[in-house]
Structure 1
Amino acid sequence: MPKGLRLVVLLPLTIFRLMTLLRRFRPDVVHFFLPMAYLIGGACAILTQTRCRVMSRRSLAAYQKSHPFLARVERWLHARMCAVLGNSKAVLEELRREGVQEEKLGLIYNGIENAGPASGAEKASRGELLPAHNVDDETLVFILVANLIYYKGHANLLRAFGQIRASLPKKWVLLCVGRDDGIGAALMETARENRIFSNVRWLGPRSDTALLLASADIGLLCSDEEGFSNAILEGMAAGLPMVVTDVGGNTEAVADGETGFVVPPQDPVRLGEAILTLVKDPELCRRMGDAGRERMAKKFSAAACVQSYERLYAGLIAGEKKAIGDLLQREEN
Structure 2
Amino acid sequence: MRPRLPSPRSPSPHSRPRMKTMSSEPRSPWSTRSATGRATSARSRRGLAGRRVLVLLESLELGGAERQALLLARYLQEYEDSVVEVWGWGPPGRAADLCHRLGLPWRSYRLRWHAGRWQRLMDIVALARQLARWRPDLLLPYCRVPNIVAGLVWRWTGAAGCIWNQRDTGLDLGASRLEPWAVRSVPAVVANSTHAAQRLAALFRLRQPIHVVPNGVRLDPPAASRSEWRRRLGIDQRGLVAVMVANIHRAKDHATPLRAWHRVVRRLGSQGQEGSAAAEPEGFAAPDRQPPAPSPKALLVLAGRLDEPTGPMGLVRELGLQEHVRFLGAVDDVSGLLSAADLGVFASLAEGCPNGILECMAAGLPVVATVCPGTTEVLGPAGQGMLVPPQDDAALADRLLLLAHNPTLRRTVGEANRRRVQTEYAWEIMGRTMATLLAGLLDHSAAPPPHRTVPAPHAWPSLAQSQAPLEP
Deviations 1:25-67 (A, max 9, x none): 362x3222222212222211144574422111111222347xx
Change in Cα spacing, 1:331 to 1:253, as seen in structure 2 (3 Å) is closer
1:94 is the counterpart of 2:199: yes
Q: Write the mapping of 1:40-79 to structure 2, written as runs, cut at 5 A.
A: 40-47=149-156, 50-64=159-173, 68=175, 70=176, 72-79=177-184
Question: Which residue of 2 is the match for residue 134 of structure 1?
Answer: 234
* Partner amino acid, structure 1, of 2:354: S
Separation (CA, whole Å) in 1 of partners of 2:452 and 2:383? 30
1:318 is the counterpart of 2:443: yes
Change in Cα spacing, 1:14 to 1:143, as seen in structure 2 (3 Å) is same
Separation (CA, whole Å) in 1 of partners of 2:452 and 2:392? 40
Q: Write the mapping of 1:129-208 to structure 2, written as runs, cut at 5 A.
A: 129-168=229-268, 171-184=297-310, 186-208=311-333
Comparing 94-103 with 306-315, greater Cα deviation is found at 94-103
Question: Which residue of 2 is the match for residue 125 of structure 1?
Answer: 226
Comparing 288-297 with 188-197, greater Cα deviation is found at 188-197
Q: Aligned pairs, how many? A: 319
Is the contact between residue 361 and residue 417 of structure 2 (CA under 8 Å) also seen in structure 1? yes
Separation (CA, whole Å) in 1 of partners of 2:210 and 2:337? 37
Question: Which residue of 2 is the match for residue 15 of structure 1?
Answer: 125
Sequence identity (%): 27
Deviation of 1:282 (Å): 1.2
Deviations 1:203-260 (A, max 9, x none): 1222112110111001011112212111111101111001112224211211355486
Deviations 1:64-120 (A, max 9, x none): 47xx3x1x31112222121111001121111011134364210011112249xxx88
Deviation of 1:180 (Å): 1.8
Separation (CA, whole Å) in 2 of partners of 1:89 and 1:331? 16
Separation (CA, whole Å) in 2 of partners of 1:150 and 1:213? 24
Deviations 1:149-185 (A, max 9, x none): 133111111111223333226511011112222333x
1:83 is the counterpart of 2:188: yes
Comparing 9-18 with 135-144, greater Cα deviation is found at 9-18
Deviation of 1:325 (Å): 7.3
1:25 is the counterpart of 2:130: no
Comparing 144-153 with 235-244, greater Cα deviation is found at 144-153
Separation (CA, whole Å) in 1 of partners of 2:134 and 2:251? 43
* Partner amino acid, structure 2, of 1:172: A
Change in Cα spacing, 1:106 to 1:62, as seen in structure 2 (3 Å) is same
Change in Cα spacing, 1:253 to 1:102, as seen in structure 2 (3 Å) is farther
1:296 is the counterpart of 2:417: no
Is the contact between residue 241 and residue 260 of structure 1 (CA under 8 Å) also seen in structure 2? no
TM-score computed with the length of structure 1 as normaliser = 0.84
Is the contact between residue 19 and residue 48 of structure 1 (CA under 8 Å) also seen in structure 2? yes
Question: Which ranges of structure 2 fall in alignment gaps of 5 or more residues?
Answer: 1-111, 271-296, 454-468
Structure that is richer in helix per residue: 1
* Partner amino acid, structure 1, of 2:298: W
Deviation of 1:192 (Å): 3.4
1:108 is the counterpart of 2:216: no
Change in Cα spacing, 1:12 to 1:149, as seen in structure 2 (3 Å) is same
Deviations 1:303-324 (A, max 9, x none): 1011101211222222148877
Change in Cα spacing, 1:139 to 1:260, as seen in structure 2 (3 Å) is farther
Deviation of 1:277 (Å): 1.8
1:273 is the counterpart of 2:398: yes
Bigger Rg, structure 1 or 2:
2
Comparing 316-325 with 287-296, greater Cα deviation is found at 316-325
* Partner amino acid, structure 1, of 2:198: E
Comparing 298-307 with 161-170, greater Cα deviation is found at 161-170
Decide which of 319, 337, 344 is 1:219's aligned counterpart.
344
Separation (CA, whole Å) in 1 of partners of 2:386 and 2:313? 26
Is the contact between residue 190 and residue 210 of structure 2 (CA under 8 Å) also seen in structure 1? yes
Is the contact between residue 82 and residue 104 of structure 1 (CA under 8 Å) also seen in structure 2? no
Question: Which ranges of structure 1 fall in alignment gaps of 5 or more residues?
Answer: none
Deviation of 1:330 (Å): 10
Separation (CA, whole Å) in 2 of partners of 1:100 and 1:320? 26
Comparing 199-208 with 15-24, greater Cα deviation is found at 15-24
Is the contact between residue 246 and residue 264 of structure 1 (CA under 8 Å) also seen in structure 2? yes
